[in-house]
Amino acid sequence: MSANRRFRSIVRIGPVQVGTAYDQRGQEKHTAACTAPRCGFSADYDSRAAAELAARTHQCAAR
């Protein structure tokens, strides 16, 4: 089942976008997702710093 989230404070770091939203339980989550074709990287984090660190260190395998 896909999550329909309303993201706010979206930042783009290279090909990765970092956004903040509330999950199904009402807790704030930070998501990092790569927008490069055929990459498929996305992950949820509890802190904004962790999501931005993941975005900065992400290496696309699709390249």
The first and second tokens of residue 63, run together, are 């390249």
* pTM beyond 0.85, yes or no: no
Q: Is 53 helix (H, G, I), strand (E, B) or coil?
A: helix
Beta strands per DSSP E along the chain: 8-13, 16-22, 28-34, 42-45
List the strands of the sheet with 8-13, edge to edge.
Answer: 8-13, 16-22, 28-34, 42-45
Is the residue at 22 inside a domain?
A: yes
Instruction: Give the residue numbers spanning the domain of 26.
Output: 8-57
pLDDT at 58: 94
14 domain residue, yes or no: yes
pLDDT tens digits, 18-47 = 999 998 888 999 999 999 998 989 999 999
pLDDT at 63 over 90: no
Residue 3 pLDDT > 80: no
Average pLDDT of 48-63? Answer: 88
Three-class SS of residue 21? strand
- Per the structure, the count of domains in the chain is 1
The mean predicted confidence, pLDDT, of the chain is 89
Tell me if 45 sits within 8 A of 29, measured CB to CB: yes
Position 62 in a domain: no
